[in-house]
A and B are shown apart, each in its own frame.
Chain A
Amino acid sequence: MNKTVNQKAWFFVIPVFVLVAFNAIIPLMTVVNYAFQETFGNNVFMWEGTRWFKQIMLSERFHASLGRQFLFTFIILFIQIPLGIAIALTMPKEGIGVPICLVLMSMPLLIPWNVVGAMWNIFALPDIGFLGHSLNALGFDYNFTQQIGDAWFTTILMDVWHWTSLVVLLSYAGLRSIQPAYYQAAEIDGASRWAIFTKIELPKMKKVLTIAILLRFMDSFMIYTEPFVLTGGGPGNATAFLSIDLVKMALGQFDLGPAAAMSLIYFFIVLLVCWVFYTLMMRNEEKS
């Protein structure tokens, strides 16, 4: 189709631009302001150029929390995506089971983050929590407040409990949108259950799975409240993911310059990963 070129149409974009400026660009600019300057209060600023960025990029503390962040995100994606698909495949397709399953699945998603953190904190306490006490009673030496492995185990378990449902619901919606004729044709073609999954169900779920992976990547990469309430980033810095570390730096130590620089780097990493991932997933779509 031929599109008419009319540069005046840009005027119609102005309202959106103003709105976005107010809720995103202007707040972001204050962060940019801090990232390039040093302040001693009283609104006195001194130009620092890229000093804070260099400092953050070279800091071992940032490397460590970035590493922990990527590890955490990969582990939860690796568990939640296959698990979510598996649960969606076993969910009933008709009858009274459908609403029951959907409601049960939605429950964890409706609980506020700090409540989830508090719940799991109490649940996992080694002396009185159901999980912690049971594990110890079974002979495991479990204490998430003191042992790094246990802290990671609990944080990951909590995130899987909280967010797998999202993957389930998206996958279920994707599965339900497949026309029955596809299954009938596969039956007539003599396809195995595995072939139906890999040749029909997975390709048809590609779009919802892309969204699921993107959402789970972004959310888990920016996770703050739940681990903050559960472990507070500890023991030591073992579960101090990027957000937790950032807040420590900005509000704990009041290093506003480096914290602002770190925020911007953090923001660009999220943006970059999402863009690369989305482009890769959608590249084949455009070809066909």
Chain B
Amino acid sequence: MAKVTLKGLSHSYLKTQSSDADWAIRGVDIDWNDGGAYALLGPSGCGKTTLLNIISGLIKPTKGDILFDDKVISGLNPVERNIAQIFQFPVIYDTMTVYDNLAFPLRNRKIPEEEIKVKVHEIAEMLELSSTLNNRASGLTADGKQKISLGRGLVRSDVNAIMFDEPLTVIDPHLKWILRSKLKELHQKINRTMIYVTHDQTEALTFADQVVVMHEGQIVQTGTPVDLFEKPKHTFVGYFIGSPGMNVLPCQIKGNDVIVNGKKIETHKQIKKSNFNKTEVGVRPEFISFSNEGIPVKVLSVSNTGRHKIVDTESETGKIKIIAKSNENVPSGSAFLKFKKEYTYTYGDSWIIE
């Protein structure tokens, strides 16, 4: 068990780097507490797997340090770092039984056979694999195999951290739920630092206490699921989390006033104009309502999801989505929108202005 710290971490797969785009990850600083459940969330290609492999020691970073419990471990190999990692595709040793698969990491570390037996049975019990222990591992279904991969990470009781690299990708949807709650349950039971990489916001938000959102190799926001939803620090977080994502509209800042489509609107904080190339206003569909005055829009379409209605409207400078209650009357044709002040944020060059 350990606290994981990343300091000024950057990595590039190229020998020389000329622009930001040449870096797979750049300038990442993270502090993860011992025993926490964390998620790295981001779209494909944002650098999250690279970051994970750097922590586990499979990749050596170009710049920066990794610390476990405040000790620099950047130079150590995966075995010395004593971590466990579960991959996207289940990795099992085909010719071995389930028991031998689970015992493999312990046998490699020359642990006495009696101790291995106790440990393997304990883990098998936890993962509900006890009845298949003597079967050949290659005969199992995808979720069974992934449980073995997970089990091989859990049998070592002293691991510093357990890392998951999109572990539910190949699992059937109805089993995903079961495995996901199993993971959550395991985390509470064994209380080890767990780092979970995914591009699926539901997975990240349900698994983790703290979610790290990555975008083009950088961390754009770290926070609890509620933070990410209520106060996105970057327009990307706004788009990426929530369904539908945050509405982002261009705006002008004149003195202390924020102007959208020629109308002055109120935001969560008074701001002053600074030097930005681009200023925008962001507000989630959940925090917009129809009103008698405000931003003029044309209602394009209404789709009822059962729980609520999603209304597509068009304003002068772009489309705006609104979530309305399913029993609410939605005006047709022209309408006016009002943004909830506390949840309306201003962004300068995509970053929140505070």
Contacts and interface: CB of A to CB of B under 8 A. Distances in A.
A228 B331 CA distance: 94
Interface string B92-106: 011110000000110
A210 B87 CA distance: 29
Interface in B55-97: 56, 58, 77-79, 83-85, 87-89, 91, 93-96
Interface string B118-150: 000000000000000000101100000000010
Contact of A185 (B87, B94, B96, B139): B87
A182 interface: yes
B108 A185 contact: no
B108 A189 contact: yes
Contacts of B96: 199
A200 interface: yes
A204 interface: yes
Contact of A199 (B83, B93, B149, B152): B93
A187 to B, nearest CB: 5
Given A187-B78, A188-B56, A188-B83, A181 B108 contact: no
Given A181-B88, A181-B91, A191 B78 contact: no
A191 to B, nearest CB: 6
Contacts of A181: 87-89, 91
A195 interface: yes
A30 interface: no
B307 interface: no
Contacts of B138: 288
Given A200-B93, A203-B95, A288-B136, A189 B105 contact: yes
B109 interface: yes
Given A195-B108, A288-B136, A288-B139, A188 B85 contact: yes
A204 B89 CA distance: 15
A82 B109 CA distance: 29
Contact of B58 (A184, A199, A200): A184
Nearest to B79: A190
Contacts of B136: 287-288
B166 to A, nearest CB: 11
A44 B90 CA distance: 69
Contacts of A200: 93
A167 B128 CA distance: 42
A190 B109 contact: yes
A195 B56 CA distance: 21
A204 B138 CA distance: 12
Interface residues of B, number: 26
B90 to A, nearest CB: 9
A191 B104 contact: yes
Contacts of B87: 181, 184-185
Contacts of A42: none
A204 B56 CA distance: 25
A192 interface: yes
Nearest to A191: B108
A191 B78 CA distance: 11
A184 B149 CA distance: 12
Interface residues of A, number: 18
A69 B153 CA distance: 51
Contacts of A288: 136, 138-139
B104 A189 contact: yes
Contact of B94 (A191, A192, A204, A287): A204
The prevalent SS among residues of A at the interface is: helix
Contact of B152 (A179, A187, A189, A204): A189
Given A188-B84, A189-B108, A179 B89 contact: yes
Interface in A164-187: 179, 181-182, 184-185, 187
Contacts of B53: 184
Given A188-B78, A188-B79, A199-B96, A182 B104 contact: no
B119 to A, nearest CB: 14
Given A189-B104, A189-B105, A199-B96, A182 B91 contact: yes
Contacts of B104: 189, 191, 199
A188 B96 CA distance: 18
A199 B95 contact: yes
Contact of B91 (A185, A192, A203): A185
Contacts of B91: 179, 181-182, 185
B94 A190 contact: no
Most chain A beta-carbon neighbours within 10 Å: one of B58, B84, B136, B149:
B58
A184 B109 contact: no
A204 B88 CA distance: 19
B126 to A, nearest CB: 19
Nearest to A189: B105
Nearest to A195: B108
A196 to B, nearest CB: 10
Most chain B beta-carbon neighbours within 10 Å: one of A195, A200, A204, A288:
A288
Contacts of B83: 188
Contacts of A287: 136, 139
B147 to A, nearest CB: 14
Interface of A: 179, 181-182, 184-185, 187-192, 195, 199-200, 203-204, 287-288
Given A184-B78, A188-B56, A191-B108, 11 more contacts: A179-B89, A181-B88, A184-B56, A185-B152, A188-B83, A189-B104, A189-B152, A190-B109, A199-B93, A288-B136, A288-B139
12 contacts: A181-B88, A181-B91, A184-B85, A185-B85, A188-B78, A188-B83, A190-B108, A191-B104, A195-B108, A203-B94, A203-B95, A204-B94
CB-based closest 3 A-B pairs: A190-B108, A185-B91, A288-B139
